[in-house]
A and B are shown apart, each in its own frame.
Chain A
Amino acid sequence: NAGVTQTPKFQVLKTGQSMTLQCAQDMNHEYMSWYRQDPGMGLRLIHYSVGAGITDQGEVPNGYNVSRSTTEDFPLRLLSAAPSQTSVYFCASSDPGRWNTEAFFGQGTRLTVV
């Protein structure tokens, strides 16, 4: 059981380049989300999805796109990378009910934009 898998683990981009961060989960979770983690700021929600075909914005969505064509996959696209997007990105999935929203996290993608 792989859980949540993120690729790549590390990436260096030049300003203006685009790329897609991949996230896949094998737990049949409906809820998936993307966070970015910056020093001293904890995790901030970028985008989330409550099921295939449904996505919505989180706290810091600007500069990022997402899609959810399948339950398993939730890719995050950087449209035109900027140095401010240098961060560690985490994908998470969960199976929320009324009382249980324990999230499972991937190992992260460390992105540097130069």
Chain B
Amino acid sequence: SQQGEEDPQALSIQEGENATMNCSYKTSINNLQWYRQNSGRGLVHLILIRSNEREKHSGRLRVTLDTSKKSSSLLITASRAADTASYFCATDSNDYKLSFGAGTTVTVRA
């Protein structure tokens, strides 16, 4: 069964706006990762946050992790057309096997 669930399923925003998506999971984790998938392509790793971290930044990306609520959020600031993609959270629960959610599809309108 899948560990992570993203919310919302789909998101449409104007270029320049911020995009926020959330991920909830069920069991304790070593780390949580976010991946991006452009249409018809493989997944690309964006950012990893460890279970003892609460917030992490990478360029225009900000990830938070709340282990007490078993949830994470990904914020993309100042969105661009190139950010149009599907975004997946994946959890590693101490066995090196990543468990993925169903993803959030983000559309950035020009």
Question: A-side interface residues toward B, CB under 8 Å?
Answer: 4, 31, 33, 35, 40-45, 48, 50, 58-59, 90, 92, 94, 96, 98-108
Q: Which chain A residue has the least Cβ–Cβ distance from B103?
A: A42
Band of interface residues on B: 20 to 34
Q: Which residues of A contact B2 (CB under 8 A)?
A: 41-42, 44
Q: Are B100 and A42 within 8 A (Cβ)?
A: yes
Other than A59-B1, A100-B31, A105-B44, give 6 A-B pairs with Cβ distance below 8 A. A33-B97, A50-B96, A90-B42, A99-B31, A101-B31, A105-B35
Q: Which residues of B contact A58 (CB under 8 A)?
A: 97
Q: Which residues of B contact A104 (CB under 8 A)?
A: 45
Q: Are A107 and B41 within 8 A (Cβ)?
A: yes
Tell me, yes or no, whether B50 is within 8 Å of chain A by CB: yes
Q: Which residues of A contact B30 (CB under 8 A)?
A: 98-99, 101
Contact A99/B41 with A42-B101, A43-B100, A44-B2 known, Cβ cut-off 8 Å: no
Question: B-side interface residues toward A, CB under 8 Å?
Answer: 1-2, 4, 30-31, 33, 35, 40-45, 48, 50, 88, 90, 92, 96-103
Q: Which residues of A contact B103 (CB under 8 A)?
A: 42
Contact A103/B45 with A44-B2, A45-B97, A48-B97 known, Cβ cut-off 8 Å: yes
Give Cα A106 to B31, complex, Å: 22
CB distance from A91 to the nearest CB of B (A): 9
Contact A101/B96 with A42-B102, A44-B2 known, Cβ cut-off 8 Å: yes
Give Cα A51 to B42, complex, Å: 23
CB distance from B6 to the nearest CB of A (A): 8
Contact of B98 among A40, A41, A103, A107 (CB under 8 A): A103
Contact A101/B92 with A44-B2, A90-B42 known, Cβ cut-off 8 Å: yes
Q: Are A102 and B48 within 8 A (Cβ)?
A: yes
Contact A106/B42 with A44-B2, A99-B31 known, Cβ cut-off 8 Å: yes
